[in-house]
Amino acid sequence: MSRAPALLLFAWLLLLVLAPPPVAGADGPYVAVGQLRGTINPAAASYVDRALGRAEADGAALFVLQLDTPGGLDSSMRQIVQRILASRVPVVVYVAPPGARAASAGVYIAYSANLAAMAPNTNIGSATPVAMSESGEAKLSDEMRSKMTNDAVAYLKSLAATRGRNATWGEDAVRQAINAPANEALELGVVNYVAEDLPDLLRQLDGAQLPGAQGQGSLRPSSLPVQRLDMQPLEGLLHALADPTIAYLLLSVGTLALMVELYHPGAIFPGVTGALCLLLAFYGLGTLPVNLAGVLFIVLGVALFALDVVTPTHGVLTVGGILSFLLGSAVLINAPDGAPYLAIAWQAIALVTLFFVLFFGFLLGTVVRIQSRRSVNGRDALIGQRAQVRSPLNPSGLVFAQGELWSATTDGEAIPAGEWVEVEGVNGLRLRVGRAAVISAPAVETAEPAAGA
């Protein structure tokens, strides 16, 4: 298959995979269920907006958002909160499944819902805001940190007042980063229900009165059909890209693919793959607190690897490249204390570094082997070859080498026609030869060239 049809087929398959699946419209009231797992980022905010819009357009009676998040961006969190507050469909945030959490930004999202619920063995809390800079967690003055904290407290207390939640606990979650498990959160009035699973939650919601701006309408969701409004493939991809480890792996794979394209121009596929991986990596890194110094260290490491292939230094540049790449990988993402979800997995750093070492080590070994071989092409290939004297060398004459007649000269005594000599050097179009060692003569070539050289 030629390259153009292959690339078109690849693009068609990619579109087929990422295309949103068809969703059948509901015939009547139903319960829409969405799921938000992972960090809160622009892709998560876009998903919640789309899912709620779909629920409103289809006449859903209730929207349940299953939440499991370690936190995320303040701007994306506020977009989600604003969308939930403006929703025409009652919203229930359900921290699930067991083992899930609603930390940091998740606390605000849970407080913004009409009703909140938690599964057993889940927790909620740690809503202290953190400011980031290019060098990591920003060192703020007491006044600035106080402003940020008071702003977050006021925001959470306003949500608590609107939805009838425990404002005092919410303030402590911001100022002291406290947490509460499911049963304790229920006792404190942080959430309204503790439910084993979704069907249990819907049964408990029967007859519930909606507080706040939605009025005092009574819910009866247990008898309604359930329709899932999960992330579409493209939304899931963009959301996953915000994972530091995934973004780091894409950055590494993209860099390696482009290096392969540079070493094998015209391969096309490595170049296209590398460009796509780098673009996806840049999108993901754009949602993360990236350290510019880490990027520069990684670039320097790759450059040192490449230079050692072009100008071998017996591994000196490779060692420098390994150290630079490791250091850049370690500081690429500024993960503040209490936010390990923003750190790159050390296993990924070790695996990628090892792969880079093996890749460039293979290239370096190949270059060294090629450079150590004797040339088999061109005039240099004649050196060391045997030739037969056709006209006496005294000191110049003609010899027959590799199917051609060559002008030749010798520095020693005259050599008569018919004897064998060995090529010692090439001077332009003239060979410098010397008498060959006495061995069994090879078969005499009888084919004469059309013209001498």
Do β-strands 123-125 and 404-410 pair in parallel, antiparallel, or remain unpaired? unpaired
Bin 141: left if φ > 0, else alpha if -120 < ψ < 50, else beta: beta
Neighbour count for residue 276 (Cβ, 10 Å): 15
CA distances from 242 to 270, 281, 287 (A): 24, 9, 6
- Collapsing DSSP states into helix, strand and coil, what is residue 248? helix
Amino acid identity of residue 5, one-letter, is P
Nearest to 195 by CA among 55, 93, 71: 93
Nearest to 355 by CA among 345, 363, 344: 363
**Both tokens of residue 386?**
């045997």
Cβ–Cβ < 8 Å for 248, 348: yes
**Both tokens of residue 105?**
């930004």
Cβ–Cβ < 8 Å for 406, 387: yes
- Could you tell me which residues come within 8 angstroms of residue 423 by beta carbon, excluding any fewer than 6 positions away? 382, 383, 384, 385, 386, 387, 401, 431, 432, 433
Catalytic residue among 75, 146, 147, 218: 147
CA distances from 267 to 44, 238, 271, 310 (A): 37, 28, 7, 20
Catalytic residue among 104, 252, 324, 329: 104
* Residue 163 to residue 157: CA distance in whole angstroms: 10
User: Annotated catalytic, 104?
Assistant: yes
Q: What are phi and psi of 132, to 5 degrees?
A: -115, 150
**Both tokens of residue 34?**
């969405």
- Could you tell me which residues come within 8 angstroms of residue 13 by beta carbon, excluding any fewer than 6 positions away? none
* CA dihedral of 428, 432, 436, 441, whole degrees rounded to 10: 40
Q: What is the largest CA-CA distance in the chain?
A: 119
**Both tokens of residue 125?**
């809390």
- For the annotated catalytic residues, the residue numbers are 104, 147
